[in-house]
Structure 1
Amino acid sequence: MHRVRTFCAKSCQLGLLLLGSLAIYACDVAASANAQDLEYLRQSVRTHLLTHYENQYETVEIEVNRLDPRLRLEDCKDQLAFSIRDLSNNGGAVSVKTECRSHSPWTVYIGAQIKVFEEVVVARRALSRGDIIQPSDLTHKKMNSSELRNGYFLDVQAALGKEVRRNLDAGEIMRDGVLNIPLAINRGDIITLASSNGAITVNTRAEALSNGRVGEQIRVRNLTSERIIVANIVKSGVVEVKY
């Protein structure tokens, strides 16, 4: 009898263990059925990013980071909302705030790498310091502009007529930082000095005492009165002073 009781006890314990395992398995299956599909979530983020950037750029490449497979979120296929954090608005490393707005809300931040390609203005040939940019000096090259600093040009007109500040290699990107507005007046030039009091403007001849560009101020000598004054350069060979 003792052996029979021991066998029954062991059988009961084994049965309870099996029932417990089955219950845990059933719970896991139920939880999986109600869990958010992480790959679906990742692809939804990619679709949102693609729509956003293709409205601004002709060519876009997007890689969304994979989510930790241990992440457990309640299924929320039809009520997802996205908010892109891109400070420069030209791609690179971005973050997408992804929200579930159902009765059981959640929020995750999903990273992505965005490449946006634009036709950027570059030097067609090697240029030397002091060269004035002509149309034949420029061309376009498709580049990943998310990797470029600000100040590059998309339109050749923005660079035409400007002076090169340093030597440039063929294919080098044209930027604000490597170009100057050319000198409008050189030291020693005999220029026009326009003196205005609002209603009346009087033009006289003057001598430039320094170099300058449009918008800058330089010292000039009035050749009639021999007075030295500070005047604003308004265009090539012309300065203005208002009283």
Structure 2
Amino acid sequence: MKLYIFIFSLLLSVSALGDTSLDRIEAAAEQYAQGVLEVPEGARLLVSASELDRRRHFDSCDTPLQAQAPSTREGARYMTVKISCDTPKPWLVYVPVQIAVEYPVMVAKMTLGPDTLLDESMVALRYVNNSSLRGNYFSSPDELNGARLKRRASAGQVITRRNVCLVCKGNPVTIEANNDHLSIRTSGTAMGSGSQGDPIRVQNNRSKRMVDAYVIGIGQVRVKM
């Protein structure tokens, strides 16, 4: 009886050696996902195949594994990849693959209080999963150097455009006005606070006139001509 059990176990072991490894199947699914999914410039794609049942066995495949999946909608967190082998004993298996896209964003290195004037030592670049990003964010420390926090930011918190003012009420600003034929720069005072692209009222320091402008950078606004 013991001899029979030993021989049976040995046959199973020899059979398993000829199988296509589950790791190879999972890697083929991940490689396929990485090849077909489009990622915005600057972002990075992370894919992870779900681990297959270790008790499953697939006959040895002497040809490259075939991978196929239906088109995946933008922002999807999962896709299912069909892995198959076209040998005399064909087989196929469906492998779920988890998808994550991470974006480079600026976060606070430490807890920062409202009205803090930011510099590069206070922020750091981190990759953050798109599913947890809310609002417009910054991807370079240069965009925040000299900006002022409007509300408290905890350590590790993503700094969004709502958190800061590139132009703050009462601050001096440079007013730009230009068209195809003329470019003018003068000084002014902000009558409100705003971030990139926000409309804002400013006072021209020379004429004392109030003008409508929009924020184009730290301490900079532009008026339409």
Whether 1:184 aligns to 2:175 is no
Out of 108, 129, 149, the residue aligned to residue 132 of structure 2 is 149
2:5 is matched with none
Alignment-derived partner of residue 8 in structure 1: none
Over residues 144-183 of structure 1, what are the superposed CA-to-partner deviations in whole Å (9 max), with x where a residue is unaligned?
x6696347x9x7737753555543444x3x4254874533
Is residue 196 of structure 2 the alignment partner of residue 196 of structure 1? no
Alpha-carbon separation, structure 2, partners of 1:89 and 1:222: 46
- Which residue in 1 is equivalent to 2:83? 98
How many equivalent residue pairs? 201
Any idea what SS the aligned residue of 2:181 has? coil
**Which runs of no fewer than 5 residues in structure 1 stay unpaired?**
1-31
| Structure 2 letter corresponding to 1:81 | Q
CA contact (8 A) 1:97 1:109 kept: yes
The two structures have a TM-score, normalised by structure 1, of 0.51
Structure-2 change in CA distance of 1:44 and 1:165 (3 Å): farther
2 CA distance for matches of 1:222 and 1:185? 16
Q: Deviations over 1:193-231 (max 9, x none)?
A: 444343233445544332233433222344555554312
Q: 1:118-156 CA deviation, whole Å, 9 max, x = no partner?
A: x99764432223434444435688x9x6696347x9x77
The yes-or-no answer on 1:65 pairing with 2:52 is yes
Pairing of 1:86-165 with structure 2 (within 5 A): 95-102=80-87, 107-111=92-96, 123-138=108-123, 149-150=132-133, 157=141, 160-161=144-145, 163-164=148-149
Aligned to 2:195: 213
- Identify the structure with the greater helix proportion: 1
Superposition TM-score, scaled by structure 2 size? 0.54
Partners of 1:195 and 1:74 lie apart in 2 by 72
- Which of the two has higher C-alpha Rg? 1
In structure 2, the CA distance between the partners of 1:88 and 1:126, relative to structure 1 (3 Å rule), is farther
User: Is the 1:99–1:105 contact (alpha carbons within 8 Å) kept by the matching residues of 2?
Assistant: yes
Q: Go from structure 1 to structure 2 and tell me whether the alpha carbon gap of 1:228 and 1:84 turns closer, same or farther (over 3 Å shift).
A: same
* Contact 1:185/1:236, CA 8 A, preserved across alignment: no
Q: Is there any run of 5+ residues in structure 2 with no aligned partner, and where?
A: 1-11, 36-42
Aligned mate of 1:80, from 39, 49, 65: 65
CA distance in 1, matches of 2:99, 2:180: 54
